[in-house]
Each structure stands twice: as structure tokens, then as C-alpha cells.
Amino acid sequence: MVHRALALLAEPRRAVVRMHLAGYERSEIAELLGWSEPKTRNLLYRGLADLRRILASWGIGPGPSPARGGSNHE
């Protein structure tokens, strides 16, 4: 489901979220894509928000997690 949801993201956000979920650091994402750290951070933040919104619309909610949302970016 995550991959199906990813496919619905806008291209730059999809790329940065994919790399994030694959375990790359933000600095690595910025390096590979030639982006600044703030741009990378912004796209990642928005991309993850989009991803969660899509999953939530499919009934896949936050589920049990240690903190509300539990994200490093929210």
C-alpha cells in the first residue's frame, strides 16, 4: 500500500520520500539530487504529509505508535 500511495505523490516529493524510506540521510538526498538542505527538508516534510494523507484516506491510520503521529518531521 505504501508503494501504491507513493506512486500518487508529485515527482520531487516522491523521490525524496522514497530515499528517506529507503534509509538515506537527508544530507545524502540533498547531495544526490543537487538540492539544498532546506529544499530537501521541505520536500520531505510535505511528501511525508501527502503520503500519510493518502494512506489515511484509504483507512490506514497512524495505528499504535509511541507518540502522536510519531514522525521525525512533524
Partner 1 sequence: MNDERLREAYERGLPVGNDAPTLDDVQAERLRLLVEREGSEGERLRTLDMMLSTAEGRRELDIAWAAARAARPHRRSWQGFAVAASLVLVCGTSVVWMARRQHARDVDVLRGVESPITLVAPVGLVAAPRATHFAWRPIARAERYQLVVVDTTGAELYAIETRDTALALPDSVRLAPGRTYLWWVQATLADHSTVTAVTQRLVVAPR
Query: What are the residues binding partner 1 (CB under 8 A)?
Result: 1-3, 6, 11-12, 14-15, 18-23, 32-34, 48, 51-52, 55, 60-63, 65-67, 69-73
Sign of the C-alpha dihedral computed for residues 60, 3, 64 and 29 taken in this order? negative
**Smallest distance from the beta carbon of 29 to partner 1, in angstroms?**
10
CA distance 15 to 60: 22
Please, which residue, 32 or 37, has the CB nearer to partner 1?
32
Q: Which H or E run contains 28?
A: helix 26-33
**Smallest distance from the beta carbon of 6 to partner 1, in angstroms?**
8
